[in-house]
Chains A and B, each alone.
Chain A
């Protein structure tokens, strides 16, 4: 009983220490956003990397999600005689929830882990130390550029995923009935309002920020020793995914408060 209590207290302490040190790290990274020099070249390189690595994956996943969602919901809607509401319903679910969360999770798996492994390796092989003694701040050159790149890129990737998802939905409907793309789009967009798009976009900016941040944090704080590279990558994915769901939860509560639904 005593050891159980100690274990629980121990993990609680570790949890809060971790949260505290992530917050501290976040503050330091944000400060670097406003500190010269601004490494635009490295930012572009990272942005290109991220797009290049995830675009095909997001295209395929987005298309399938739209398709499957439509095929699965259609029979129910037909039973209710509410077929014409289907495109709108799918559009809302994709834009508000499925597009952002699926894209963010894919990026957590691909980008966060990649950054975690890369920075972990740089830490273990003393590249971060070498950078530090050369007078370049790794927090500025390496971390801030990556976090900024994910913060900008993830929302764009989400827009892309939404578009492909809607196209998948159209493809699914087209298999079952005759509907023009134009009619589909007008049905879909009629039911979408600012109240759907704006909170979703703000949410994805936070997703992007934390995908870069968690990956960087895990890599930056890697232990010495090669096995910690794998550990950083792994715990970057787990932590980033968890944070994505927590942000999603907070976002839904907040938009309910603000928009009243």
Chain B
């Protein structure tokens, strides 16, 4: 199978405080990796390094075979079109309606599209997450779960090959969390995407992930399939699954 993302010996420190010390990872097409870890261990920093929102100090990040850390801005923009990023709170633009939020995503990349095509794309994307009714709402009027779904719709509109989910279910009730996890799976089936999913939600990891990694002190402390880690004797690993 084709490798979509490959990370080798990734390092990042903020003000001499190391956050990522030696991260290695390989994501194959159609695969989902779940990353578990305590708050503040650098999970978000890791995903931000993949799209170079944070500039890594050392190591290698290959996305679809391209070296992200050392490419120019134009190439980076091309890569960013292929990598969707769902931010922790959805990161919807507060001053724009849902429709404008989605349109904003494509207006730079697909200028050649005319008005009807644009509208269709937006509506199709919202339908994918079951929120077509919210099209004229402002983000302030939406619940946390809805914001994340709209955020996902905004990501999907570019039909990315890879999606990075930063805590997609954190802060949601169990029912809504379940719905989001199902949505992640549905998206993956429909568009054949690969994903990295950062989560604290064991159910979400169980439902979505082919591979689970536990992050600690800037490295992956344990890796394997969900059931392998489930049966681990290591106290630290057990703590996540109890």
A residues at B contact (CB < 8 Å)? 118, 121-122, 125-127, 129-136
Asked if B109 and A135 sit within 8 Å, CB to CB, the answer is yes
- With known contacts A133-B80, A134-B108, A135-B81, A127–B88 Cβ distance under 8 A: no
Q: Identify which of A122, A133, A135 contacts B53 (C-beta below 8 A).
A: A133
Shortest beta-carbon distance from A241 to chain B in Å: 26
- With known contacts A129-B48, A130-B85, A136–B108 Cβ distance under 8 A: yes
Q: Which residue of A lies closest to B108 (CB)?
A: A135
Name the segment of B56-64, B89-97, B172-180, B217-225 touching the other chain. B89-97
B residues at A contact (CB < 8 Å)? 48, 51, 53, 77, 80-81, 83, 85, 87-89, 91-95, 104-105, 108-109
Please indicate the chain B residues that have their CB under 8 angstroms from the CB of A134 in the complex: 80, 104-105, 108-109
Q: Which residue of B lies closest to A132 (CB)?
A: B53
Shortest beta-carbon distance from B66 to chain A in Å: 15
Asked if B109 and A129 sit within 8 Å, CB to CB, the answer is no
Q: Identify which of A126, A131, A132, A135 contacts B89 (C-beta below 8 A).
A: A126
Asked if B77 and A135 sit within 8 Å, CB to CB, the answer is yes
Query: Can you sample 17 A-B contacts with CB below 8 Å?
Result: A118-B95, A121-B94, A125-B89, A125-B91, A125-B94, A126-B91, A129-B85, A130-B85, A130-B91, A130-B93, A131-B104, A133-B51, A133-B53, A133-B83, A134-B109, A135-B77, A135-B108
Among B53, B93, B108, B109, the most chain A Cβ lie within 10 Å of the Cβ of B93
CA distance A132 to B48 in the complex (A): 11
Q: Identify which of A118, A127, A136 contacts B91 (C-beta below 8 A).
A: A127
Please indicate the chain B residues that have their CB under 8 angstroms from the CB of A131 in the complex: 93, 104
Shortest beta-carbon distance from A215 to chain B in Å: 15
Please indicate the chain B residues that have their CB under 8 angstroms from the CB of A136 in the complex: 104, 108
CA distance A129 to B47 in the complex (A): 12
Q: Which residue of A lies closest to B105 (CB)?
A: A134
CA distance A131 to B107 in the complex (A): 12
Asked if B77 and A129 sit within 8 Å, CB to CB, the answer is no
Q: Which residue of A lies closest to B164 (CB)?
A: A133
Known contacts A129-B87, A136-B108; 18 additional CB pairs below 8 A are A122-B93, A122-B94, A125-B89, A125-B91, A126-B87, A126-B91, A127-B91, A127-B93, A127-B94, A129-B91, A132-B53, A133-B53, A133-B83, A133-B85, A135-B77, A135-B80, A135-B108, A136-B104
Shortest beta-carbon distance from B31 to chain A in Å: 22
Q: Which residue of B lies closest to A49 (CB)?
A: B95
Shortest beta-carbon distance from B89 to chain A in Å: 5
Please indicate the chain B residues that have their CB under 8 angstroms from the CB of A125 in the complex: 87, 89, 91, 94
Please indicate the chain B residues that have their CB under 8 angstroms from the CB of A130 in the complex: 85, 87, 91, 93
Shortest beta-carbon distance from A112 to chain B in Å: 18
Shortest beta-carbon distance from B174 to chain A in Å: 24
CA distance A121 to B89 in the complex (A): 12
Shortest beta-carbon distance from B190 to chain A in Å: 21
CA distance A135 to B48 in the complex (A): 15
CA distance A126 to B53 in the complex (A): 11
Please indicate the chain B residues that have their CB under 8 angstroms from the CB of A135 in the complex: 77, 80-81, 108-109
CA distance A6 to B53 in the complex (A): 35
Q: Which residue of B lies closest to A130 (CB)?
A: B91
Please indicate the chain B residues that have their CB under 8 angstroms from the CB of A132 in the complex: 53
Asked if A127 and B92 sit within 8 Å, CB to CB, the answer is yes
Sorted nearest first, the 6 A-B pairs with minimum C-beta distance are A130-B91, A126-B91, A126-B87, A135-B108, A135-B77, A133-B80
- With known contacts A121-B94, A135-B80, A135-B81, A129–B89 Cβ distance under 8 A: no
- With known contacts A122-B94, A134-B108, A135-B109, A129–B53 Cβ distance under 8 A: yes
Please indicate the chain A residues that have their CB under 8 angstroms from the CB of B95 in the complex: 118
Shortest beta-carbon distance from B44 to chain A in Å: 9
Please indicate the chain A residues that have their CB under 8 angstroms from the CB of B80 in the complex: 133-135
Shortest beta-carbon distance from A29 to chain B in Å: 18
CA distance A181 to B108 in the complex (A): 55
Please indicate the chain B residues that have their CB under 8 angstroms from the CB of A126 in the complex: 87-89, 91
Shortest beta-carbon distance from A44 to chain B in Å: 14
Among B51, B88, B105, the most chain A Cβ lie within 10 Å of the Cβ of B105
Q: Which residue of A lies closest to B93 (CB)?
A: A127
Please indicate the chain A residues that have their CB under 8 angstroms from the CB of B48 in the complex: 129
CA distance A127 to B87 in the complex (A): 9
Shortest beta-carbon distance from A232 to chain B in Å: 15
Shortest beta-carbon distance from B79 to chain A in Å: 10
